[in-house]
Amino acid sequence: MAYCRKCGANILEDAVVCVKCGCAVSDKTGGFAPQDGKSWVTALLLSLFLGGLGVDRFYLGYTGLGILKLVTLGGCGLWALIDLILIAANSMKDADGKPLVKK
């Protein structure tokens, strides 16, 4: 199983177009294998223990948001809690739009 690079929807390996968003997803134009994404477990642990310092956002590739989260100490904890919930629910994607991979 592969995923659409644009919307993250599951697509068949030989699909040419994503049925959810219409994006071209052939191997040459944007599909990717599930193992290409960042680890869900790593993101969850970083968010749980170091989320107030923005380490989870740095890991996912959001450097600017990681710095902002670091300066505000996780939005006084609220932003860190929201990110923890989003990662736990597997609703957050990395900076390239890839879903987190449960390895």
CB count within 10 Å of CB 17 equals 14
How confident is the model over 3-62, as pLDDT tens digits? Answer: 777 777 788 777 778 888 777 776 544 455 555 689 999 999 999 999 999 999 999 999
| Total tally of structural domains belonging to the chain | 2
Within-domain flag for 94: no
- Residues 20 and 48 reside in one and the same domain: no
Enclosing domain of residue 72: 40-88
pTM of the predicted structure, to 2 decimals: 0.69
Give the residue-averaged pLDDT of 58-72.
96
Give the residue-averaged pLDDT of 85-96.
94
Within-domain flag for 18: yes
Helix (H, G, I), strand (E, B) or coil at 8: coil
- Residues 47 and 83 reside in one and the same domain: yes
- Residues 19 and 47 reside in one and the same domain: no
Of the two residues 1 and 98, the one the predictor is more confident about is: 98
Within-domain flag for 98: no
- Residues 27 and 44 reside in one and the same domain: no
Is a pLDDT exceeding 70 seen at residue 78?
Answer: yes
Of the two residues 63 and 97, the one the predictor is more confident about is: 63
Within-domain flag for 70: yes
Within-domain flag for 96: no
Instruction: Give the separation between CA 66 and CA 24, rounded to whole angstroms.
Output: 31
Question: Which pLDDT score is estimated for 29?
Answer: 45
Give the residue-averaged pLDDT of 80-84.
97
On whether the CB atoms of residues 55 and 42 are closer than 8 A, the answer is no
- Residues 44 and 28 reside in one and the same domain: no
Within-domain flag for 101: no
